[in-house]
Structure 1
């Protein structure tokens, strides 16, 4: 059956504006005028009047954590209670009481940010969490996902001691010969590897919940780092496969396959997984690696010490040789690579690894990339063009980082960072949220990209690096499709492409740029099927 959509304010992404389009067999078969669209009608056709609402291609979040998002939807939401440490503790107490969590059962929360605390100016510790409960094991994750704090009961149950062997690429804090409950970067695995693991069915429930939440933001595609959320990555792959077979995927997902050891990557590839393998709804993407931490936690790897803490340069997750080996093995076996980098030193390491493997094993159209690309220098930005790297940006990060970036890295380095316009011009810069670090709010991300201000009006921060509204939409559509080698399949309203589209109450082109975040998503369509309606 054909469905004809007329009277719309339709931004096609690649071919300008039109007023109507036609969908048949999950694809766009026409985009243009009302008159010509209606010529496609037959007795079985449906005609839908868009009533001048804005329509564009379905949004593609090119870097997030879908499973972790679904997991956190069942946790205490500390992002809503992070104005003080006391608020965090009260939120946890309320969560335990409201959900009637019995003593001995795990309590988990995510979203706190100590930079917002007005009563103390440091990470929480085990002793703070003990004020909530000494009978419940509690663990809470910072908004960035790079720092975790657990209470005394959790430390006891997990068998953690202050004389544990140090963790390469991670830290745990010991004060007065006692663990204080703070774990950073790779040391988080000391916790995650020992907490109770969910079943495949429980993982599926988390994923479905996340999919539907993403649809409410107009998202139809996501590029997601999921395989390290729980201990057995094969259970996670099985959950995705079963949901795909059961037709329960309301998101087209490109898996950024995260591994920390070469042996596991080899096993993955030997099992037949590689970039591009899969179906329309679940496909293997790049090897995903972590080269450093976060700016907020001062674990991003910097080439010079932090301006506000000269004793720190961040956390180096891999040695250069280890990084080179992982990248070379993946690239030489035809796998795309995407590596997390927030500090400029980690970007240097990644560029060295890419240059090394592409010299040793030349590849055309590799689409290797750097995820986040936050603290950069002009020479790093030049390398994006020279090496044809994909830039995975998160413009929504300006909403918080605008408050800390200059304090953390100093004025000079801050002036060449978050260089979204430069990256857009020299590479295929795709946009995302890093959810659950931030909510997957595409329109909020667009507003930050266009205004270079926080959503509370702080800024602008380097206004010359602002994207236009058109570029911001492209970063969340066609550039995301390019990152997954799917620019000929989706990412624009174009004949022959998948009918993935979003209907908005107002046009971002015609809305005050400081109010783009307030535009409502009216409906989200995946392959022509409505998966969300407001």
Structure 2
């Protein structure tokens, strides 16, 4: 059975603006592209695109799928604009919560407030008697009420763990936990059961498919109990549905444990690079900088690991023939891990991955270009907190914030993602941000406008780029003979529609292995 897809514009992404009239698909693969006349004799059925526009299947190159599902399950406070509103929304939920329940709010961004300050521990304690966790939008900082702190045994005397901060003022807990300190609570909450994980995963996948995503590179294996627990959830949901393709990064803390399990990959779920956090984030001023923060002259952020630890982890990955993917935001963090990569390169033909790569200069760009390294960017990061980051870094240093064009000009492989639940995992939002470098509704020329890229380059991030970064660009990311029949089909042409309308273009179909796995409307 061979199906001919035709009747609309079909972008191959092989070259700028390249289109074909028809695509012949059989057994989940593209067997030919060309004209309708040449291919129709070989088709047993025809799928009429009815004027819609087809692209290779979009992939989010960096997100946390289960974490995104949790955001869909819990209280989303990402649009809250003042502290009183935050306390009111959470307070309403706390009123109906039992004493043993866990109330979780996700997406706090105090830089949107008139006064950018967090609620005090006293203020959140007054909301109710349930356990309460408020996750900042960066997910590198949480606010925990006294009951949640007590659950983890955190007192005024508890020292901060390595790579994290238990914040105290005059020796008293504030409820703020940063980086590894927050794992003392969030990795041990009792409601993280197999059924909870599976429900979050199902909700996430349904949402991702509606955004036109055929797959995602996710890091979830160290946050939900023993790694076998999330792995089994992926097996039950992803392998069973066969509607979404997941590439799983493996946190260094569970890397060896997963290796001993001898888990095998499938067409819909595969195991990828070792994941290491090098530093924190700008939001909590824990991103590691060469020079101090402008608004905290005694603080340069922090490196999560020593150089010796980083060398150990990278060598461990190499012993297993594996690449490494690192969270590195500050310039010192990027510089530090690149030095390790230089001494311990990946297997021939493979590339390591720098995720975020948020603050660069010409020296760092040159180092990146000299190594077998790819960059995993989140274009939406330029939107949310640029002004706050500018205040923390200063105008000169901020010229290197959230690069894109600079990376592409140096020939680096660059993929695009959302880091959901931090950003909305709609690739159209990322494309808009990459092209305009401004928030929706704004009219200026863009934050660091010198880093704007073309629409073709932006779509490339979510198609070919997402395949290149995991070495699969020989069979994914393009519409070409021999490639997987993964397609994202929109109502409009992303490369020509008015740019302000682009984020609102509707997905018509999401297609995986030639099968429609999401339809926004009935055919015909």
TM-score by length of 2: 0.95
Taking the TM superposition and a 5 Å limit, the aligned residue runs for 1:217-236 are: 217-236=211-230
TM-superposed deviation, 1:164: 1.0
CA contact (8 A) 1:502 1:521 kept: yes
Equivalent of residue 146 in structure 1, options 118, 140, 143 = 140
CA–CA distance in 2 between the matches of 1:248 and 1:203?
16
Are 2:441 and 1:469 equivalent residues in the alignment? no
Residue deviations 1:258-302 (CA, integer Å, cap 9, x gap):
124xxx4333334436xxx51111100100010111112211111
Out of 377, 380, 386, the residue aligned to residue 364 of structure 2 is 380
Cα pair 2:76 2:106 within 8 Å, conserved: yes
Q: Is the 8 A contact 2:386 2:447 kept in 1?
A: yes
Report how far residue 96 of structure 1 moved.
4.1
Whether 1:298 aligns to 2:291 is no
Q: Secondary structure at the match of 1:108?
A: strand
Q: C-alpha distance in 2, partners of 1:328/1:158?
A: 33
Match status 1:430 vs 2:415: yes
SS of aligned partner of 1:514: coil
Partner residue in 2 for 1:74: 73
- The separation in 2 between residues aligned to 1:48 and 1:470, in whole angstroms, is 26
Deviations 1:124-178 (A, max 9, x none): 3322212321x11111100110001111222233332111132111001122432
1:325 match: secondary structure:
helix
Matches of 1:175 and 1:106 in 2, distance apart?
Answer: 26
Match of residue 4 from structure 2? 4
Give, in whole Å, the separation in 1 of the partners of 2:164 and 2:260. Answer: 29
Does residue 533 in structure 1 map to residue 519 in structure 2?
A: yes
Contact 2:434 2:452 in 1 (8 A): yes
Deviation at 1:244, TM superposition (A): 4.4
- TM-superposed CA distance for 1:37, in Å, is 3.2
**CA–CA distance in structure 1, aligned partners of residues 214 and 187 of structure 2:** 32
Q: Superposed, which structure 2 residues align to 1:10-409 within 5 Å?
A: 10-15=10-15, 16-41=18-43, 45-80=44-79, 82-96=80-94, 100-118=96-114, 120-133=115-128, 135-245=129-239, 247-260=240-253, 264-272=254-262, 277-358=264-345, 363-409=347-393
In 1: Cα distance, 2:6 partner to 2:187 partner:
53
8 A Cα contact 2:252 2:313, kept in partner = no
- 2:498 and 2:389 map into 1 onto residues whose CA distance is 26
- d(CA) in 1 for partners of 2:242 and 2:120? 39
CA offset at residue 405 of structure 1? Answer: 3.0
| Counterparts in 2 of 1:13 and 1:136: CA distance versus 1, 3 Å | same
Separation in 2, partners of 1:531, 1:126: 46
| Residue equivalent to 2:491 | 505
Distance 1:459 1:405 in 2: 18
Q: CA deviation at 1:479?
A: 1.0
Classify the secondary structure of the residue corresponding to 2:10: strand
Whether contact under 8 Å (1:55, 1:502) holds in the other structure is yes
Given that 1:6 and 1:37 are in contact with CA atoms closer than 8 Å, whether structure 2 keeps it comes out as no
State how far apart, in whole Å, the 2-side matches of 1:206 and 1:414 are: 37
Q: For the residues of structure 2 that align with 1:94 and 1:256, how far apart are their CA atoms? A: 37
Equivalent position SS for 1:408: helix
For 1:510-529, list aligned pairs within 5 A.
510-529=496-515
1:384 CA drift (Å): 1.7
Between the aligned partners of 1:218 and 1:113, the Cα distance in structure 2 is 27
Q: Secondary structure of the equivalent of 1:286?
A: strand
Alpha-carbon spacing, 1:393–1:193, altered in 2? closer, same or farther (3 Å) = closer
Q: Distance in 2 between matches of 1:231 and 1:259?
A: 15
CA shift, 1:459, in A, is 4.4
Query: How far, CA to CA, are the matches of 1:18 and 1:302 in structure 2?
Result: 48
Contact persistence 2:159–2:166 (CA under 8 A): no
Gap runs ≥5 in structure 1: none
1:490-525, Cα deviation, whole Å (9 max, x unpaired): 111111211110111111111122332121111111
Task: Determine the C-alpha separation between the residues in 2 that align with 1:227 and 1:6.
Answer: 40
Q: CA RMSD in A?
A: 1.7
SS in 1 for 2:279: coil
Task: Encode CA deviations 1:461-492: one digit per residue, 9 max, x unaligned.
Answer: 23232111111111101110111221122111
The answer (yes or no) to whether the contact 2:238–2:245 under 8 Å persists in 1 is no
For normalisation by structure 1, the TM-score amounts to 0.93
Stretches of structure 2 that go unaligned for 5 or more consecutive residues are none
Query: Offset of 1:408 from its aligned partner?
Result: 1.8
3-state SS of the aligned residue for 2:430? helix
| Alpha-carbon distance in 2 for matches of 1:104, 1:124 | 22
